[in-house]
Every structure is written in structure tokens, then in C-alpha cells.
Amino acid sequence: MPVTGLEEILNNVQLLNHGYDRKARKAVREGAKLFGDQLKPNTPVSAVDHSGKEHLQDAVTVGNVSIASGEYEAKVGYDKIKGPIAHFPNSGTSKQDPQHFVEKTQEESREKVLQTFITNLKVGD
């Protein structure tokens, strides 16, 4: 009898972990989407296209959820073409004042993202 009880407990722990993983991935995915949706309109659009490619605003990307680092994460930013230059308008250069649109997006979306995490990770749902 005790062995069956232990096996039952271990099976329940595995079910709990599986359910948590699914909820955590959903929370991170939805939080990243919220941040990306807010980053796009906050990203400035220049009237002059210096690169000959798309506007930085059109290059916003939201990656898939990953746990490669040991934590749940989804990368939100800009694609490989525009990403390397996104820090110039955000942080400024010697000829351009900083616009801090990434930081502005972080501040604006913080509460919404946290609320998404809380909603998705509630115990008992």
C-alpha cells in the first residue's frame, strides 16, 4: 500500500508540473505579444528612409517561448535586418537625441504584462 501511495504522489507531481509548464508558456507568450503590440506604435517612423529597407516600426518581432536559459522567455525586439540599428534612435547618437521608446514601452506595458502573468498562473484554474 505505501508504495502505491508514493507512486500516486509522484504521478500527481508530474501532472502538476505539466500543467504549470503549459500555463507558464501561455503567460509568457501572451505577455510578449502584449509588449510587442505596444512596442510597434511606440517605435518612431522617420520620413526619410536611410537604410533603403522597411521602417523600424515594421520590423518588430515576437519570438517563441523558450526555456533554454532555465527560465521561460520570449524575445521581443526587431528582426535581424533592423535589429542591429534599433539602439541608435532609442539611445541617441552624437547627431540624434535619444527617444527612449523601448523604455517607454516597458513602463506602459508593465502592469498589463504582470496582470497577464497573474491571470494565467492562478492556482486552481
The rounded distance, in Å, linking the Cα atoms of 91 and 110 is 20
**CA separation, residue 111 to residues 40, 92, 115, 118, 121 (Å):** 18, 27, 6, 10, 15
For the chain, give the mean pLDDT: 85
- The string of pLDDT tens digits covering residues 64-112 is 999 888 888 999 999 998 889 899 999 999 999 999 999 999 999 999 9
Residues 10-52: tens digit of each pLDDT: 666 666 666 678 888 999 999 999 999 999 999 998 877 766 7
Kindly list the domain boundaries of the chain, sorted by start residue.
2-120
Q: How far is CA 102 from CA 52, 76, 118, in A?
A: 23, 11, 23
Phi and psi, residue 82, nearest 5°:
-95, -20
What whole-number distance in Å separates Cα of residue 113 and Cα of residue 107?
10
